[in-house]
Structure 1
Amino acid sequence: MGDDTVVARLFSVKALLGIVAGAGASYGIYKLVFSRAGDAGVNRKKSAKSVTIQPGSLMAKVSGFKVVSKSDNLDPTVDSESSDIFSKSAANLEPRHLSMLLSLLQSSPNLEERRKVLVTLGNAAAFTVNQDLLREFGGLHIIAGFLSDPSPEIRVQTLNALNNLSMNIRNQEQLKIYVSSVMQMIEMSPVNSDLQLAALRLLTNLSVTDNHQHLMKGSITLLLSLLVVSSEVLQIQVLKVLVNLSSNPDLMDDIVQAQVNKHVFYGFCCNAFTVL
């Protein structure tokens, strides 16, 4: 990277950090008041929807990186191969295993089973070959369909899986249609929740290039607001997204037009250097 590019990027970051907090003060107060009520509601839902894995079921035999399957949906030939699937790790999954996981994800009414499948798919999606296979199988849209699942834990695991899948440029072309849903999830979720953090990680990947940055233009004020009310961990993740956006000249005007509060500039300088 040339010296001029480095100077320009540091200038854009400095400009960004100089205006981060003013736009978010009123929004932050609102989220702080209502996030506790949201947390209580989530806890009640978790208690009401606890799931027990039946002894002897396939799920009872699977843990960690092992693949989850559902024998009653398979013909006898496929069922006879299930023991071989259970012995494989996410790095060694074959195309038919990924297809079976996607099928199970759509058909299983068991919350814990769906969570296990999403975790397994997320682990598998760390490998480029699986990222391509899951796209070819239509898996990106199948997985993204669980962004609206009633369970917060399912939504977190969905975001984690999509985060790994979004490291593939061709996958980003399909995932861009979910940017607005992810931004809405950030806005509606309790501040500093796992949901917000997982969603921001996905947006970080989707904003690395300028191909889809314009889709986040309308949420710049929301991102700036989170810098006022969130924890240090979340602030750093927000800054990663904002630094990506600030590298786009077409978005700098939108960032600069946010209200300025110079008092927060020094407070976020250290975080900015950590991001860089």
Structure 2
Amino acid sequence: MGDGSVIPKFSNMKAFLGIVAGAGASYGIYKLFSGTSFRKNKKSAFNESNGPKLPHGGMVLQPGSLLAKVSGLDVVRVGESQAVPDDVESSDIISKSPESLEPQHLKMLLSLLQNTPNPSERVQILITLGNTAAFTVNQNLIYELGGIHIIAGFLSDPVPEVRVQTLNALNNLSMNLRNQEQLKVYLAKVLELIEMSPVNSDLQMAALRLLTNLSVTDNHHHLLKGSVTLLLSLLVVSNQVLQIQVLKVLVNLSSDPDMMDDIVQAQVRLTQLNACTGCRPK
């Protein structure tokens, strides 16, 4: 890149900061919530981790099944002990915390996910896989078992909660850069879910969290060029919580100088569209 392009790029950066400021109080709200400052290098990129979640209740599990044994496990931190339910017999499973589950256990969970016709069970399995994917060792195991493509296949599930938990599991898996190489092929589907889901829904939030992780590095920014107008539009129509998540994605994108022209041009298109709202043809 020649020296002559430096001044325009800085001008574009100033323009983008004006865009964010023009989005209203969202930026200030984000600063209040996060307590952190934006920096113009890639170290300031946002990433999202759901962290461990406990499985939802209300589902009857078959006694002795792998799902019953594994999904009931608490995700433990280093130094914490793992409670062992009295009715679980497979000590080789229940004595392990989720980060040390063996490949055959994850393989069986992935098989269950593919074969169960029950949406509630799919939700439960996805939550369990999402819990285990909070740990690097399991991120690698799921990758090696082809689990990313299996899980991502449920992005099109007809049940909204299944799609939400699919996004949550993929979100934890996306904390691994190698996994992102497989996840990038689903970016178009994630953007579709953001666009087609009800505004401020759990689906939109889960999809934006995944998008935040996938935009931490500039490896896949070129695949998001067409999404900037959508993201800017969400700043206008969404609530404060969703606006904060959108801003995280935009800040990640703005750390890439090659994205600044697209951000500025998207703002121009959006401004023109808003200016024509309600216009009638002569």
Q: TM-score, normalised by structure 1?
A: 0.70
Partner of 2:17: 14
Equivalent position amino acid for 1:207 in 2: S
Equivalent position amino acid for 2:165 in 1: Q
Partner of 1:231: 239
Partner of 1:114: 122
2:70–2:93 CA contact under 8 A, matched in 1: no
Aligned mates of 2:15, 2:102 — CA distance in 1 = 45
Percent sequence identity over aligned pairs: 68
Sort the Cα spacing of 1:253 and 1:178 in 2 relative to 1 into closer, same or farther, 3 A: same
Partner of 2:182: 174
Residue 87 of structure 1 deviates from its aligned partner by 5.1
Residue 88 of structure 1 deviates from its aligned partner by 3.9
Structure 1 unmatched runs, 5+:
1-7, 22-50, 68-79, 262-276
Partner of 1:149: 157
Partner of 1:203: 211
Residue 82 of structure 1 deviates from its aligned partner by 4.6
2:73–2:94 CA contact under 8 A, matched in 1: no
Residue 19 of structure 1 deviates from its aligned partner by 5.7
Equivalent position amino acid for 2:119 in 1: L
2:225–2:262 CA contact under 8 A, matched in 1: yes
Aligned mates of 2:231, 2:17 — CA distance in 1 = 16
Equivalent position amino acid for 1:153 in 2: E
Partner of 2:60: 53
Residue 96 of structure 1 deviates from its aligned partner by 1.2
Correspondences of 1:23-172 after superposition (within 5 Å): 53=60, 56=63, 58=65, 63-65=71-73, 82=90, 84-86=92-94, 88-172=96-180
Q: Which runs of 4+ in 1 moved over 2 A?
A: 8-13, 18-21, 51-67, 80-89
Q: Secondary structure at the match of 1:85?
A: helix
* CA-atom RMSD in angstroms: 2.7
Equivalent position amino acid for 2:160 in 1: P
Sort the Cα spacing of 1:188 and 1:253 in 2 relative to 1 into closer, same or farther, 3 A: same
Q: Which deviates more, 191-200 or 246-255?
A: 246-255
Partner of 2:280: none
Aligned mates of 1:155, 1:83 — CA distance in 2 = 32
2:64–2:89 CA contact under 8 A, matched in 1: no
Q: TM-score, normalised by structure 2?
A: 0.68
Structure 2 unmatched runs, 5+:
1-9, 25-57, 76-87, 272-282
Sort the Cα spacing of 1:218 and 1:189 in 2 relative to 1 into closer, same or farther, 3 A: same
